[in-house]
Chains A and B, each alone.
Chain A
Amino acid sequence: MLKTRIIPCLDVIKNKVVKGVNFKNIRVMGNAVEMAKYYSLSGADELCMLDINASYQNRKTFIKTVESIAKVINIPLTVGGGVSDLSDITDLLNAGADKVSINSAAVKNPKLIRQASLRHGSQCIVVAIDGKRHKNKMKVVIKGGREITKNELITWAKQVQSLGAGEILMTSMDTDGVQNGFDSNMLKKVTSNVGIPVIASGGVGSLEHFYLGYLTKSTGLLAASVFHSRKYKIKTVKKYLSSKGVPVRL
Chain B
Amino acid sequence: MKKKVIGLIDGQSGNIGSINKAIKDIIKGKPYQLKIIKSHFNYTSFDKIILPGQGAYATLMSNLKKLKIFEPLKKYLENNSSYLGICVGMQILSDWGYEDKSTRGLGIISGDIKKFRNKKLIIPHMGWNTINLNKDDTIITNSFDKKDFYFVHSYIFQNIRKSDVLAFTLYGQKFPSIIKKGNIYGVQFHPEKSHNHGLNLIKNYILKS
Contact = CB atoms under 8 A, between A and B. Distances in A.
Given A1-B130, A123-B55, A94 B125 contact: no
Nearest to A41: B195
Q: Which of B18, B129, B171, B198 is most buried by chain A, counting CB atoms within 10 A of its CB?
A: B18
Interface in A203-229: 219-220
A75 B148 CA distance: 12
Query: Mostly helix, strand, loop or mixed at chain A's interface?
Result: loop
A196 B127 CA distance: 12
Given A74-B199, A75-B150, A75-B193, A197 B15 contact: no
B150 A195 contact: no
Contacts of A219: 122, 126-127
A93 B170 contact: no
A220 B55 CA distance: 21
B153 interface: yes
Nearest to A97: B15
Contacts of A82: none
B193 A197 contact: no
Contacts of A167: 124, 126
Q: Which of B56, B124, B127, B171 is most buried by chain A, counting CB atoms within 10 A of its CB?
A: B127
Interface of A: 1-5, 40, 45-46, 70-71, 74-76, 93-94, 96, 98, 120-124, 166-167, 195-197, 219-220, 249
11 contacts: A2-B171, A4-B127, A5-B127, A70-B17, A93-B14, A93-B15, A98-B15, A121-B59, A167-B124, A197-B124, A219-B127
